[in-house]
Structure 1
C-alpha cells in the first residue's frame, strides 16, 4: 500500500481535538446481514460511533472477503476497507436452526441492516413485518440496488451498474471519451452514508415515539442524490449536461490546467480573482477581452479560454504556480496522486489515515473514522470469530451452541 510514504500511522494521533461523538451509540445493538460495500459502510460508521455491531456472515463469509486481488496481507482490501470494529457471527441461514438463531438475535437488536434482494429476508422469516410484530421499536434498514418496490426492485445493482443506470457515467470524462466510472465505489460509500443518516434519524424518532421504522435505502437513489446539481441543471435547461472533464458546468475558470510537470486545479471565477489570475499569468489583456470578461462569457468561450490559459500554465511547475496563486488568494490545488495524499500535511493533522488490527497480527492502514473519533485501534474480525460469544449473549446454552457448531450451522474460525 502506497509504499513507504505512509510511514507510521501516527497521523491518527496528530489531531489536536478528540471528537465529541466517541461512544455516542454505546449500548446500541446492531445486527448486520449486509455484504461488500454499501451496507457494511453503514454498519462500520455505526460501530465507529460506539454501537455493538454483529456481522452475520454465511459459511463462506461476506462476499467482500473474496473480492481480491488486491489482497492486503491475508485479507481482501475491500473487506478491510469496510469492516473495522465489528464482531463476526458465522451462521447458515439456509438451515432452519440458523434462521431461528438469527431471528432470536434480531429480536434483541435495536437496528437490523440487510442488503439482500427485496423479498429474501421475508422468505427467511427475517423480514421487517415479521420482526416488528414482536419488536415494534425495531429500526430495520434495507439496502438494495433499486429499492424495495417498483419495476426495478428485483434488479441486482452493484456500484458500477448503478453508476451506469443513474446517468452518473454520462458526466465523467471528456467529450470524446468512452463512458467512464468513478474508480472508487462512490455510490456504495454514499449509500452507506445515507443509510447511516437514516438509521440515526429513525433512532431519534423512536426516542420520542417508541416507533420503529423500515428504511428503504437504494444505490440508485443515492446516485441520483450525488447528481443534485447536475439533474437540477438538466431540468432547468431541458438538455443533458455535456462531459467536460475537470471543468464545472456553471463557472469558469474552474478546472485543471497542465503545468510544466503536472496539473493544477484553479477556481478563479468570483470577484476580481479572474483579473488577478490574468495578471499573474502575464496576460492582463485577457481580463478585458469581451470573450472572457464575465463568467457567463467564459463559459460560452471555454475552449478558447482553456487554450490561452494552458499556454501560460505550461511554462512553470505546479509548485511555482501554487505558491504564486495562493499568495494572491486564488483558489488552487495540485492534482494529487495517492502517493501525495499519503503524506499530505493536512491529512496527517486530521488523522485521516488510521489503522485496524487483523487477527493475523498484521496492522492494516486505511482511512480513519470520518467523525474524527480517535481511540484504541479497532478490530477486523475473522470469519465466525465471535460466533460463540454472540450466541451466548443471546441466551443460548453452551450445549445448544456446541450442537449448532457440530452441525455446521454456526461456525468458528
Structure 2
C-alpha cells in the first residue's frame, strides 16, 4: 500500500476498534505517521462508510479520508472465535484502541484485563463519551451531545442573540481524537522507558470541558470566584468579522504594539487617546465598546485597502475564506498541502499531513479500504493457517469482501 509505514511511528501496530469520527481521526494520524493501523469492523462496517457522497455506497468521501492508510479486518466479535482472533493479534500489537462504552466493551470480554493478559506491554485506550467513574458513564455521546454538555453551545448562544447553536464543525470528536492521539503516544514513550503497558481513558465530555475552560475559567479559577467563568473578549457580541465598504475582513488587533500601529495607520485620531484603549486590561474591561468602535472604523475602507494597510503595519488581518477557496488557496498550493491521486474511486484530493518531520516524514496511504479487504493478510501475519482462516470465514467469525471487490481494492 502506498504510504503505509513511512514516518516516525514506523513499526507501531495498532488494533483500531473505533467507529464514526473521534477514534478514526485519532488513528488516521497514526497511519499518516507510519503506524500499521488495523481497522477492526463488524459485519455491517463502520456507519461512516455509508455517508454520501461517494461512487461506492460503502465508501463515502469522509470514510475514504479519515480511514486512509489503514487495513480493514472484519470480525463478528459476538462470536467467541472472533474474540480469540483479536486476542491472538493483540499479543503482537502495541496499541488497542476502542470507542465503545465501558459496559459494551466489557460484554465482549475485551476490557483492559483481557488485553493485558494477552500482552502485558499493550497500551489500551478507551475513547468514549463520559468518564466511567461518574454518573453519566452509560449515557450515549455524539459530537452534538458533548458540545451541548460541555458549555460550547451556551458560549455560541452569546454570539447569536441568545439562541443556542452548535459549532459548524464536529469539534468534540476531533478535539477528543487529538487528545487520544497524544495520550497514546505519551504512553508508548513511557513504555519505552519502563517496559510497562497501561490503560488510558479519554472521555469526550471531560476533554471538551478542559478545552473550553482554557480561556473561559478566568475568575472562577479562584475560590471564592473573582468573576464568572467567561473570557469576555471571546464572548463579546462585537467580536466578529468586520464589515468593510465592500465585504468582510478578519482583523485581530490584540496587544499594545498592534493598537499603537493601528492608530498610526489612522493618523492617531483624537478618540485613540481615550484611556480605555491604553492597556490590555482597560481594553478587556471595555471590550464591547472597543470592538464596536473598531467595527465603525473598518467600514470606511475596502477589504483590499485594509489588507494592504494592516499587513504593512504587521497587524494580523486576512480575507474571509470559504472552504471552496481553500481548495485553491495559493499558500496551500505552494506548500503542497493538497495531495491528489488517481484511485479506483476516481481522482481523490486528500488534505495533507499538517506536521513535518525533517528526518522521518509521514505519508498519506491509500483511501479507506473496503470492508474486510485485508482480513486474510492480517490473519496470515497473525499466525493463522489457511485452514484456520477458511474456518473463520465459513463460520462468519471473520469476513472478507467478494473476490472481485478485494481484487479491485488498492
Q: Structure 1 length as normaliser, TM-score?
A: 0.86
Inter-CA distance 376–284: structure 2 relative to 1 (3 Å threshold)? same
State the shift of 1:104 in Å: 1.6
1:141 pairs with 2:125: yes
**1:366-388 Cα shifts (integer Å, max 9, x gaps):** 32223234546534211110011
Please report the RMSD computed on the Cα atoms of aligned residues, expressed in angstroms. 2.5
Tell whether the 8 Å contact from 1:357 to 1:379 is kept in structure 2 after alignment. Answer: no
- State how far apart, in whole Å, the 2-side matches of 1:42 and 1:282 are: 50
Confirm or deny: 8 A CA contact 1:145 1:155 kept in the other structure: yes
Which residue of 1 is the match for residue 230 of structure 2? 241
Partner of 1:362: 346
What is the distance in 2 between the residues matched to 1:133 and 1:65? 33
CA shift, 1:156, in A, is 1.4
The residue matched to 1:172 in structure 2 has which SS? helix
Q: Is 1:230 matched up with 2:216?
A: yes
Rate the CA distance shift 1:303–1:212 in 2: closer, same or farther, 3 A: closer
Using the alignment, how far apart are the partners of 2:127 and 2:78 within structure 1? 21
Structure 2: where are the runs of 5+ without partners?
A: 402-410
Q: For the structure 1 residues 377 and 363, does the alpha-carbon distance in structure 2 shift closer, same or farther, using more than 3 Å as the test?
A: farther
Q: 1:27-60: CA deviations, max 9, x gaps?
A: 2211110001111112111111211111000111
- Whether the 8 Å contact between 2:22 and 2:177 is mirrored in structure 1 is yes
Any idea what the Cα deviations from partners look like across 1:55-90, whole Å, max 9, x if unmatched? 000111012112x24x14333233123111000011
Does structure 2 retain, via aligned residues, the 8 Å contact 1:278–1:286? no
Q: Is the 8 A contact 2:31 2:70 kept in 1?
A: yes
Change (3 A) 1:272 1:212: closer
Which residue pairs with 2:152 in the alignment? 168
**1:353, CA displacement in angstroms?**
2.5
Q: 1:273 aligns with which of 258, 263, 269?
A: 258
CA shift, 1:233, in A, is 4.5
TM-score, L = length of structure 2: 0.86
Query: What residue in structure 1 maps to residue 406 of structure 2?
Result: none
Correspondent of 1:315 among 285, 288, 300? 300
Measured in 1, the distance between the counterparts of 2:210 and 2:338 equals: 27
Alignment of 1:340-355 (within 5 A): 340-355=325-340
Distance in 2 (CA, whole Å) between partners of 1:260 and 1:385 is 56
C-alpha displacement at 1:342, in angstroms?
2.0
Give the distance between the partners of 1:304 and 1:202, measured in 2 at CA. 47
Measure how far apart 1:93 and its partner are: 0.9
Structure 2 counterpart of 1:131: 115
Matched residue, 1:402: 390
Q: Within 5 Å, which residues of 2 pair with 1:227-306? A: 227=212, 228-236=214-222, 237-241=226-230, 247-248=233-234, 256-281=241-266, 284-306=269-291
Is the Cα–Cα contact under 8 Å of residues 70 and 365 in structure 2 kept in the other structure?
A: no
**Could you say if the C-alpha distance between residues 255 and 284 of structure 1 is closer, same or farther in structure 2, counting changes exceeding 3 Å?**
farther
Q: Is 2:173–2:204's contact at 8 Å kept on the other side of the alignment?
A: yes
Aligned to 1:215, the other structure's residue is in SS state strand
Match of 2:23 in 1: 39
Unaligned runs of 5+ in 1: 1-20
- Summarize deviations over 1:168-191 as a string: whole Å, max 9, x none: 112225151411222211121111
